[in-house]
């Protein structure tokens, strides 16, 4: 399965852009503290409004569910992708919908990773995970390497 | 695809398109017309021209019934039986339109738009906030 990343986690672009395009049966949210965080109830309500089930998981606290056909896996940080590479299930690709770290260079629209995140993403790519940036379903995905310019990410 | 036109006061239509582009991405096929600076006659002419551009079928979104935008659009409907006019446009109505404009015919699209738009107006209380 593909793993999507947006630092805003479940929000409009996911609910009204990606969900109508991919029509998943289930959204699997991977983030620290889920499903116990206060906002999870509103995430579930929002997902129900677009006729999609929601499963929340903190992959550091509990094993992720087994992937199923019709899943849309979404996380808010590169660390969750690294966690999946360590414990499974293995994603085929990491697709970055938005990563908007404050005071960070803008490498593409809605892609402004901090130095720490640039290094984390480069490390994922080095482990063989295809990492791409794609804001909307209709856009062409851009490989991370093209946005990093082929240079190793510098320290902050 | 069912085309659409937004006819609103001020820059509301442009602002909706900007917001939609950030949420949905592809907003091609949605026209925008503002009544700013237009006399009643000029607005009628502009609305007539833009509604004619929609062709045989389409949806016109306007801000509120009774305003000059809605009134000008209403005046054109008799001559354009394939067009549908919806007042009270809000972001959820436009998002629903974008998500379904390729798969639904205009009449079904209108029903869904109204349902989604009306249901979007509610008081939020914890833990939904």
Domains contained in chain B, number: 1
What's the predicted TM-score (pTM) here? 0.87
Nearest to B32 by CA among B54, B2, B65: B54
A-to-B residue pairs, Cβ atoms closer than 8 angstroms: 35
Each residue's pLDDT tens digit, B29-45: 999 999 999 988 999 99
Instruction: Give CA–CA dist A87/A94, Å, rounded.
Output: 16
Q: B107 or A155: which carries more pLDDT confidence?
A: B107
Phi/psi for B124 (5° steps) reads -95, 135
What's the pLDDT at B7? 98
Superfamily of domain A2-148: Phosphotransferase system, sorbose subfamily IIB component (3.40.35.10)
Cα Rg, chain A, nearest whole Å: 15
**Two structure tokens written together for B27:** 């907003």
- Tell me the two tokens of residue A96: 């970055």
Whether complex ipTM tops 0.90: no
pLDDT at res. A150: 56
**Chain B residues close to A42, C-beta within 8 Å:** 127-129
- CA A115 vs CA A102, A155, B34, B115: distances in Å: 11, 6, 44, 45
pLDDT in the model for residue A156 = 43
What CATH number does residue B111 fall under? 3.40.50.510
B118 has a pLDDT exceeding 80: yes
Q: How confident is the model at residue B5 (pLDDT cuts 50, 70, 90)?
A: very high
Grouping H, G, I as helix, E, B as strand and the rest as coil, residue A47 is helix
Q: Which stretches of chain A drop beneath a pLDDT of 50?
A: 152, 155-156
Q: Which of A104, A94, A155 is nearest to A124 (CA)?
A: A94
| Distance from C-alpha of B34 to C-alpha of A41, rounded to nearest angstrom | 39
Using the 8-state DSSP alphabet, how is residue B57 labeled?
Answer: S
The residue of chain B with its CA nearest to that of A38 is: B127
Q: Which candidate in A11, A18, A20 is best for mutational testing of the B interface (most B CBs within 10 A)? A: A20
| Tally of residues, chain B | 129
Q: What is the mean pLDDT of chain B?
A: 94
B22 touches chain A (CB under 8 A): yes
Q: For residue B40, what are the domain limits?
A: 4-119
Interchain CB contact of B121 with A (< 8 Å): no
Q: Are B42 and B16 in contact (CB under 8 A)?
A: no
Tell whether B125 is covered by a domain. no
Which residue would you say has higher pLDDT here, B120 or A152? B120
The partner residue sitting opposite A41, judged by closest CB among B99, B119, B127, is B127
Report the chain B residue with the minimal C-alpha distance to residue A21: B99
Identify from B16, B18, B19, B22 which residue to disrupt to test chain A contact, counting A C-beta atoms within 10 A and taking the largest count. B22
* Chain B residues within 8 A of A137 when measuring between CB atoms: 25
A101 vs B79: CA distance, rounded Å: 52
**A17 interaction partners in chain B (CB closer than 8 Å):** 23-25
For residue B25, being part of any structural domain is answered with yes
Residue B9's closest CA among B42, B59, B43? Answer: B43
Torsion angle defined by CA atoms of residues A107, A113, A119 and A120, in that order, rounded to the nearest 10 degrees:
-130
* The predicted structure's pLDDT at residue B85: 97
The reply to whether B54 falls in a domain is: yes
* B127 domain residue, yes or no: no
A13 has a chain B CB within 8 A of its CB: yes
Give how far A50 is from chain B: nearest CA, Å: 10
Shortest distance, CA B46 to any CA of chain A (angstroms) = 31
**What is the phi/psi pair of residue B51, to 5°?**
-70, -30
In a domain, B124, yes or no: no
Identify the closest residue of chain B to A36 by CA–CA distance. Answer: B127
Q: How large is the average pLDDT for residues B81-108?
A: 96
């Amino acid at each position: 399965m593909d793993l999507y990343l947006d630092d805003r986690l479940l929000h409009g672009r996911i609910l009204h852009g990606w969900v109508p395009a991919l029509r998943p049966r289930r959204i699997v949210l991977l983030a620290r503290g889920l499903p116990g965080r206060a906002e999870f109830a509103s995430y579930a309500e929002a997902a129900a409004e677009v006729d999609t089930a929601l499963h929340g998981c903190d992959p550091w606290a509990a094993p992720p569910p087994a992937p199923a056909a019709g899943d849309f896996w979404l996380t808010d940080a590169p660390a969750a992708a690294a966690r999946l590479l360590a414990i499974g299930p293995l994603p085929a690709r990491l697709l970055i919908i938005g990563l908007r770290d404050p005071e960070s260079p803008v490498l593409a629209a809605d892609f402004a990773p901090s130095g720490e995140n640039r290094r984390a993403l480069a490390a994922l790519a080095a482990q063989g995970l295809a990492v791409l940036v794609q804001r909307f379903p209709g856009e062409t995905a851009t490989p991370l390497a093209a946005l990093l310019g082929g240079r190793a990410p510098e320290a902050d | 695809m069912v085309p659409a036109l937004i006819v609103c006061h001020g820059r509301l239509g442009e602002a909706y398109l900007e917001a939609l582009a950030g949420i949905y991405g592809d907003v091609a096929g949605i026209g925008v017309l503002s009544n700013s600076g237009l006399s009643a006659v000029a607005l009628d002419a502009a609305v007539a021209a833009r509604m004619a551009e929609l062709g045989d079928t389409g949806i016109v979104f306007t801000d509120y019934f009774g305003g000059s935008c809605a009134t000008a659009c209403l005046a054109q409907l008799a001559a354009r039986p394939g067009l549908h006019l919806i007042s009270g446009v809000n972001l959820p109505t436009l998002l629903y339109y974008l998500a379904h404009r390729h798969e639904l015919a205009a009449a079904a699209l209108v029903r869904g738009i109204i349902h989604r738009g009306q249901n979007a107006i509610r008081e939020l209380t914890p833990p939904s906030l």
